[in-house]
Amino acid sequence: MKFGIDRLLADPQLRKPLEGKRVALLAHPASVTENLTHSLDALVATGLNVSAVFGPQHGVRGDLQDNMMESPDFTDPIYGMPVFSLYGEVRRPTGQSMHTFDTVLIDLQDLGCRIYTYVTTLLYMIEAAAQHGKSVWVLDRPNPAGRPVEGLTLLPGWESFVGAGPMPMRHGMTLGELGAWFIDHYGLDLDYQVIEMEGWEPDVAPGCGWPPERIWINPSPNAPNVNMARAYAGTVMLEGTMLSEGRGTTRPLELFGAPDIDARAVIAEMRRIAPEWLAGCTLRDMWFQPTFHKHEGKLCSGVFIHAEGAGYGHEVFRPWRLQAAGFRAVRTLYPDFELWRDFPYEYVFDKLAIDVINGGPGLREWVDDSGAAPGELDALASTDEAAWIAARQPFLRY
């Protein structure tokens, strides 16, 4: 199969409208061609006038580990063009940076989750392009989590850098498709094009979103593999808790745990609470010791989520519900455990991080209400999921 960048490089006719134009590239370390050449190098080699580069969170080079670690602007040491950070002094492109190009090519590998900030950076670039009369081309890439949809829809007034619009946690779209939805939803007017993939089959095993013949490269430092991408719509919520999400280990955002819990007891309680929410994956109790971040240097009892192998069921795996069951299990078994982490999250200072992550308080309120049944959260989410599946339908391209 071909990603958008591969089709653009292979077809001079696709590139023809870019001739004579100043072209910018919004990219990160996973912005590579099928032979693993970085898109910047490949585009320059075609003779296009690449006049500027933009980098999202974690930087063009992907060198910054945690959230709210900012990247500076710099000059590319090989080609000499300016590299503008969209996660530093600004998160929206400045007028100065927008005057450095005519068309921006967006070539970002996404994870298929609303909270992954490349979704918001896409929106901010589209909005700036509409304001400044610039063209946006998205060089489309797979959604490695595939088409399934899950989670509560972001509520009005809860927009943030991890909440670009009213969609569920797991949106099931590519960035090219999402860009078109943003333009329609926000009533934007600009020249927008998608260089589509060729041969992407999001429902076909074993990849179920990610073509197994393509090499996985971390789009951000803690996104090491497809299993993480599948689990992320649930495990990302751990960032708003005092449970470790595995930062400081070699398998971040594929597990959760803490020094003061018993993972076997947590798994058993999850099965008691909502066994149907644990379908499509294998949960394994394990031990880990983070070298940095939460519980640094402490031995933690943990739950590893395997959304892979023979136990993986693509259509029934529901990571957001699974993680909700994990929170309820910890709350039930360890009522004195300080579950919700109170700290500034992605530049939001007046709301709990878990609520910012979920785009509202609904999940936290369900976890904290010992009398609330799984069916109550399921009913809320199912309504939002059905509405989103209908809303996104006109924008699907594959």
175 and 255 in a single domain? The answer is: no
The confidence score (pLDDT) of residue 333 equals 98
Q: Within a domain: residue 282?
A: yes
Q: Within a domain: residue 345?
A: yes
Alpha helices, H only, 258-318: 263-273
41 and 175 in a single domain? The answer is: yes
285 and 374 in a single domain? The answer is: yes
Residue 340 sits at φ, ψ, to 5 deg, of -85, 125
161 and 295 in a single domain? The answer is: no
262 and 232 in a single domain? The answer is: yes
Q: Within a domain: residue 395?
A: no
150 and 182 in a single domain? The answer is: yes
The confidence score (pLDDT) of residue 88 equals 86
| pLDDT grade for 394, boundaries at 50, 70 and 90 | very high
Give pLDDT tens digits for 215-248.
999 999 999 999 999 999 999 999 999 999 999 9
Whole-prediction pTM: 0.95
End-to-end CA distance of the chain: 13
Name the residue with tokens 């509409």.
130
Q: Within a domain: residue 394?
A: no
| pLDDT grade for 5, boundaries at 50, 70 and 90 | very high
Q: Within a domain: residue 92?
A: yes
74 and 26 in a single domain? The answer is: yes
Looking at 214, 242, 275, the residue that finishes a domain is 214
Looking at 164, 184, 214, the residue that finishes a domain is 214
| CATH classification at residue 203 | 3.40.50.12170
What domain count does the chain have?
A: 2
- Cα 258 off chain centre by: 24
The confidence score (pLDDT) of residue 71 equals 73
177 and 281 in a single domain? The answer is: no
Return d(Cα 303, Cα 283) in angstroms, integer: 6
The confidence score (pLDDT) of residue 70 equals 62
320 and 186 in a single domain? The answer is: no
- Cα 58 off chain centre by: 13
139 and 246 in a single domain? The answer is: no
Strand order across the 282-288 sheet = 255-258, 300-306, 282-288
The confidence score (pLDDT) of residue 347 equals 82
Give pLDDT tens digits for 335-388.
999 999 999 898 888 999 999 999 999 999 999 999 999 999 999 999 999 999
209 and 231 in a single domain? The answer is: no
Domain that holds residue 359: 226-388
| CATH classification at residue 355 | 3.90.1150.140
Q: Within a domain: residue 323?
A: yes
The mean of the pLDDT values for the chain is 96
Least confident among 85-94, 237-246, 278-287: 85-94
Rounded (10°) CA dihedral 374, 380, 382, 385: -140
Pair of tokens at residue 69: 């670690």
Mean pLDDT across 252-277: 98
Q: For residues 91 and 68, is the Cβ–Cβ distance under 8 A?
A: no
SS3 51: strand
Return d(Cα 64, Cα 133) in angstroms, integer: 32
Looking at 214, 234, 262, the residue that finishes a domain is 214
54 and 90 in a single domain? The answer is: yes
Spell out the long-range contacts of 196-200 with Cβ–Cβ below 8 A and sequence spacing 24 or more: 196/4, 196/7, 196/140, 196/397, 196/398, 197/1, 197/2, 197/3, 197/4, 197/7, 197/140, 197/141, 197/142, 197/398, 198/1, 198/2, 198/7, 199/1, 199/2, 200/1, 200/142, 200/398
The confidence score (pLDDT) of residue 65 equals 47
Q: Within a domain: residue 250?
A: yes
In 108-262 the beta strands, taken as DSSP E runs, fall at 135-139, 192-195, 255-258
Q: Within a domain: residue 272?
A: yes
